[in-house]
């Protein structure tokens, strides 16, 4: 369903017009920052409906309505409709109706095509984080579990330490795993979010063919975007490969007490990355880890109600000012809890929030590894 064309949603758009409750507005970070109706889901649905009904042409506001959204899914929280799917289909519709990809998105796509990642880094850069770790490279029939690093963490120097921490913790959890190193493909999340659905479909098919050839039964990833994308791809392609997030894989170490963790008295809060929480349904495991290591405090908007950091779905690239505004709001919420550290586990959220003044931003896996350093 995630790749249905906009026309297929027309009935749902009519339903939104009929219901017109606007309950999506309250939790929408973009609407709350901008107060522009076409940027709320109700307004966006109505914009799509008007477009399909030929009430107006594709205008700058239509394009803005389609792309100025982080696809954080908060609107779906308060609605029975598949709003984020509508938005993805909206982007695809515009691209198929003559709208040129946004130049910032075009460069991401060019990089995907040439380098296999959205960040203009050579394929070899993907393997840099593995230096000194002695992790076997995946080979046909040699392993059951694959640790999937994800483009962003693998090619971004400050984020590599989180992958190292993940790998070390997986080992402690007794997981026998391999990695694909520089042959690891992109999960395609970026393609999907910016409306390149056909290209995404091709990529996901190729990816799962590779995984199948390697004889992978389970993919563990620490990247929330990769997690939801791979999980949905596996479902769509009816693949038997299990997709899990690293917190699910290692939380038993905390629960069983097998991992001795030093608990600090530092006040820390946890930011649910949209892809892991609201879209991935994983809320408890990361919290268990933070609670084991620090004095945990919740932000007012947490769990399903967590507000997006503003980095996702191409917003950071194409609308940096708005993206930063969303991040500032998130940081303000974190500060108000009295926490000195914000823990999260998404490379986008970490980069986005880590660049702001306020509280310190720490990766969940690094936090846990640090708390067990003397173990």
Partner 1 sequence: MNYISELRAALGDANVLTDPAELYVYGADWSPMTSSEIRPPDVVVQPKTTRGVQRTVKIAHAHEIPVVAGGGLTGMLGGALALFGGIFIDTTAMNSIIEVDPKNQTVRVQAGATLQEVNDAVNPYGLWLPHQPESKWVSTVGAAIACDNDSTFGVRYGKILNCLLSAEIVTGTGEVLELGHRKAHFTSSGYKLKDLLAGSEGTLGVVTEATLKLEPIPETRFVEMLVFRRMGSAVDYLSRLLKAGVCIEAAHINCKRRLKFYTHAYTAKHGREPEIPTWAEALLAVAFAGDKKISSMQRDYAIDIASEFEAEVVKEREIVESWWASKYTLDFEPFKQKWPDSQKTKKFGAADPGVPVGRLEEFYHKFIEVAEKHNLDIIGMNAYLEHPNSIGFSLSCAVFVDYRNADEVRRFRMFHDELSKLAVEFDGTMSTFMSDTHQKAPYLELEHGNSLKYMKEIKRLFDPKGIMNPGKKFVREEG
Is the Cβ–Cβ distance between 145 and 177 less than 8 Å? yes
Q: What is the DSSP string of 63-85?
A: HHHHHS-----HHHHT-SS-HHH
337 binds partner 1 (CB under 8 A): no
Out of 6, 30, 41, 47, the only residue in the binding site for partner 1 (CB under 8 A) is: 47
Classify burial at 324, counting beta carbons within 10 Å of its beta carbon; exposed 0-12, middle 13-18, buried 19 or more: middle
**Residue 38 CB, nearest approach to partner 1 (Å):** 5
Window 5-34: contact mask with partner 1 (x via CB under 8 A): ------x--xxxxxxxxxx-xx--------
Determine if residue 251 is left, alpha or beta; phi over 0 gives left, psi from -120 to 50 gives alpha, anything else beta.
alpha
Structure-token pair, residue 126: 């993907």
Side-by-side strand order, sheet with 267-270: 295-296, 267-270, 341-344, 360-363
Shortest distance (Å) from residue 16 CB to partner 1: 7
Is residue 194 within 8 Å of residue 109, measured between CB atoms? yes
Strand, helix or coil for residue 147? strand
Structure tokens at 284: 């408890």
Identity of the residue, 38 or 221, whose beta carbon is nearer to partner 1 in the bound complex:
38
CB of 121 to partner 1, least distance (A): 37
Question: CB–CB of 186/118 below 8 Å?
Answer: yes
Site for partner 1 in 51-110 (CB under 8 A): 51, 53, 55-57, 59-62, 65, 77-81
User: Binding segment for partner 1 among 38-46, 87-95, 248-256, 283-291 (CB under 8 A)?
Assistant: 38-46
Q: Phi and psi dihedrals of 106, rounded to 5?
A: -60, -40
Question: How many residues make contact with partner 1 (CB under 8 A)?
Answer: 38
Cα 344 to Cα 32, 48, 223, distances in angstroms: 23, 34, 11
Kindly tell me which residue out of 6, 28, 30, 49 binds partner 1, with binding defined by CB under 8 A. Answer: 49
- Residue selected from 41, 46, 145, 245 as contacting partner 1 according to rule CB under 8 A: 46
Nearer to partner 1, 42 or 126 (CB): 42
| Rounded least distance, CB 22 to partner 1, Å | 4
Residue 360 per-residue DSSP state: E
With binding defined as CB under 8 A, does residue 291 bind partner 1?
A: no
Helix pair angle (60-67, 83-96), 10° resolution: 140
Choose, by CB under 8 A, the member of 3, 4, 33, 37 that binds partner 1.
37
Q: In the complex, what is the shortest distance from the CB of residue 328 to partner 1, in angstroms, rounded to a whole number?
A: 18
Q: Considering only residues 2, 4, 33, 50, which one is a binding residue for partner 1 as defined by CB under 8 A? A: 50
Residue 283 binds partner 1 (CB under 8 A): no
Residues forming contacts to partner 1 in the complex (CB under 8 A) are 11, 14-23, 25-26, 35-38, 42-43, 46-47, 49-51, 53, 55-57, 59-62, 65, 77-81
């Amino acid at each position: 369903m995630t790749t249905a064309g906009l026309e297929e949603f027309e009935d749902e758009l009519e339903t939104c017009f009929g219901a017109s409750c606007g309950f999506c507005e309250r939790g929408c970070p973009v609407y709350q920052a901008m107060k522009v109706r076409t940027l709320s889901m109700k307004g966006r649905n109505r914009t799509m409906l008007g477009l399909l009904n030929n009430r107006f042409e594709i205008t700058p506001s239509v394009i803005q309505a389609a792309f100025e959204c982080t696809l954080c899914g908060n609107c779906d929280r308060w609605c029975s409709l598949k709003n984020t799917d509508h938005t993805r289909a909206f982007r695809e519709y515009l691209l198929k109706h003559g709208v040129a990809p946004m130049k910032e998105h075009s460069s991401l796509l060019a990089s995907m095509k040439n380098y296999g990642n959205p960040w203009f880094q050579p394929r070899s850069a993907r393997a840099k984080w593995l230096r000194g770790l002695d992790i076997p490279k995946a080979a046909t029939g040699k392993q059951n579990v694959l640790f999937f690093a994800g483009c962003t963490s693998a090619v971004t120097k400050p984020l590599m330490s989180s992958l190292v921490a993940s790998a070390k913790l997986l080992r402690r959890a007794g997981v026998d795993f391999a990695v694909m190193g520089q042959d690891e493909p992109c999960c395609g999340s970026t393609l999907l979010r910016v409306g390149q659905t056909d290209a995404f479909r091709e990529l996901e098919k190729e990816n799962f063919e590779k995984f199948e050839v390697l004889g992978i039964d389970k993919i563990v990833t620490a990247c929330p975007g990769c997690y939801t994308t791979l999980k949905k791809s596996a479902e769509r392609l009816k693949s038997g490969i299990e997709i899990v997030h690293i917190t699910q894989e290692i939380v038993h170490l905390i629960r069983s007490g097998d991992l001795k963790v030093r608990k600090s008295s530092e006040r820390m809060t946890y930011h649910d990355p949209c892809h892991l929480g609201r879209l991935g349904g994983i809320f408890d495991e990361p919290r268990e880890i933070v609670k084991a290591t620090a004095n945990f405090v919740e932000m007012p908007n947490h769990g399903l109600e967590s507000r997006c950091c503003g980095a996702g779905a191409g917003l950071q690239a194409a609308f940096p000012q708005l993206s930063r505004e969303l991040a500032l709001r998130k940081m303000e919420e974190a500060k108000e809890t009295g926490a000195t550290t914000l823990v999260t586990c998404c490379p986008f959220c970490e980069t986005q929030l880590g660049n702001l003044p306020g509280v310190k931003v720490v990766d969940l896996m690094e936090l846990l590894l640090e708390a067990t350093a003397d173990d």
